[in-house]
Structure 1
Amino acid sequence: MPYAVNADLPDPVRAHLPTHAQDIYRSAFNHAYEDHADDPRREEVAHRIAWAAVKRSYVKSGDHWVPLRD
């Protein structure tokens, strides 16, 4: 199911990602969820795509996600 606001995201996403990364995750998830309407693994695929989107802008450093540096 699409997420209207960051507060609706799964607990692990909210607990570990900074707000901007949550925005990226939510947007990517919602787009992927819509794009894969006919896929029986729709939600799983959308979560994978959302994490991939976050990893293009953030990297895990220890226990924290930090923005990638150019």
Structure 2
Amino acid sequence: MPYGSCEELPAPVRDNLPRHAQEIYRKAFNSAWEQYRDADDRRGEDSREAVAHKVAWAAVKAVYEKNDAGDWVEK
């Protein structure tokens, strides 16, 4: 279930991340969705969707971090 736009992202992503971070999340999720299509390509028992979400959050955290106020800001 790749995301066609940021408006399709889960509410916690849309409601908390700045637009640029949402784009990073969407692109990383969609890429991981394709990359980890086969269960043999995934570690552990995580579903394809769970792996794609983990990859997407890791991609966001490589560029963004939470500040003291709890807002996501660019590093």
TM-score normalised by the chain length of structure 1: 0.93
Deviations 1:12-35 (A, max 9, x none): 000000000000000000000000
What RMSD over aligned residues (CA atoms) do the two structures have, in Å?
0.9
- Counterpart of 1:42 in structure 2 is 48
- Counterpart of 1:51 in structure 2 is 57
TM-score normalised by the chain length of structure 2: 0.87
Gaps of 5+ in 2: 40-45
Deviates more, 1:12-21 or 1:40-49: 40-49
Count of equivalent residues: 68
Q: State the shift of 1:51 in Å.
A: 0.1
